[in-house]
Structure 1
Amino acid sequence: MKPTVLVINGPNLNLLGMRQPEIYGRDTLADVVAACTALGDSLGLAIEDFQSNHEGAIIDRIHQARGTTDGIIINPGAYSHTSVAILDALNTYEGQVIEVHISNIHKREAFRHHSYVSLRADGVIAGLGIEGYLLALRRLASLVTE
């Protein structure tokens, strides 16, 4: 059985490609999922994807991932900066967690410079566009197949 990586995308990421393309680019969430799935296949990983604009749904999905996935890649969107609840859920997860941001949150508004999720993340990738998801996936592949 292949190791499984869950890719979680938070609020407004369903609008990738349409919402502020000057910041987030023109790739859609479907493009992100397709790229992760293709790379996952080549790395011997099964990819599950999940997107929600609702904090509780993200927390529920993290809980469901316990014991059933080997790693999580999470782009929590704006919840990065506000959600202790998502941090608490991630703290119950035993596998590796990599936080991804399409934009460089450190070059943006001051309130975006802090991420609660980073307190749990085993790695953080920011500002590399959707390539950040693929870099995170490569890192998780090396960690979960060791």
Structure 2
Amino acid sequence: MKKVLIMNGPNLNMLGIREPGVYGTVTLQMIKQNLQVKAAELGIDLTFMQSNHEGVIIDTIHAAHAAMDGIVINPGAFTHYSYAIRDALSSVDVPVVEVHLSNIHKREEFRHTSVTAPVVIGQIAGFGPYGYELGLLALNQHLNS
């Protein structure tokens, strides 16, 4: 069974409360529940994590090197400036898909740049919670090819 890590960065624990006009009313727990159903259909074992702390995210990426077949990550605001997370992603031999609930390219100028995108196999943005499922499907396709 393939093992996939679903990682969520800062403020994603506030989904459903934080800016519902931008992020919707779906909670991170709801996203997790939906992904578990899809993962079961695909024969994938999921591990979830969320942290507001850059170092915790980096340590978890490092640990994924020996334990995971792939990562789906929503780095949150770290997307736009965390070269440390970018370097952690590029330091492990694990395929990664980056997801964003909103279309970061249609938002404020500072959100248009992803420093993590160049080291992942692909980026999915703007499809709300469904983006996580798309990310899992894309990662599964990559792992099976």
| Distance in structure 1 (CA, Å) of the matches to 2:39 and 2:93 | 21
| Distance in structure 1 (CA, Å) of the matches to 2:41 and 2:24 | 25
Q: Normalized against structure 2, the TM-score is what?
A: 0.98
1:48 match: 47
| Distance in structure 1 (CA, Å) of the matches to 2:84 and 2:18 | 26
1:35 CA drift (Å): 1.1
Unaligned runs of 5+ in 1: none
1:86 CA drift (Å): 0.0
1:145 CA drift (Å): 2.9
Q: Normalized against structure 1, the TM-score is what?
A: 0.97
1:114 match: 113
One-letter code of the match for 2:51? S
2:101 match: 102
Once the two structures are superposed, the pairs formed by residues 1-146 of structure 1 within 5 Å of their partners are 2-146=1-145
One-letter code of the match for 2:4? V
| Distance in structure 2 (CA, Å) of the matches to 1:3 and 1:51 | 21
| Distance in structure 1 (CA, Å) of the matches to 2:94 and 2:103 | 25
For the aligned residue pairs, the C-alpha RMSD in angstroms reads 0.8
| Distance in structure 2 (CA, Å) of the matches to 1:100 and 1:13 | 12
Number of residue-to-residue matches in the alignment:
145
| Distance in structure 2 (CA, Å) of the matches to 1:122 and 1:85 | 18
One-letter code of the match for 1:142? Q
Percent identity over the alignment is: 48
Question: Secondary structure in 2 aligned to 1:66?
Answer: helix
Question: Secondary structure in 1 aligned to 2:60?
Answer: helix
| Distance in structure 2 (CA, Å) of the matches to 1:25 and 1:15 | 11
| Distance in structure 1 (CA, Å) of the matches to 2:92 and 2:115 | 15
One-letter code of the match for 2:8? N
Question: CA offsets, 1:59-111, max 9 Å, x none?
Answer: 00000100211110000000000100000000012121100000000111100
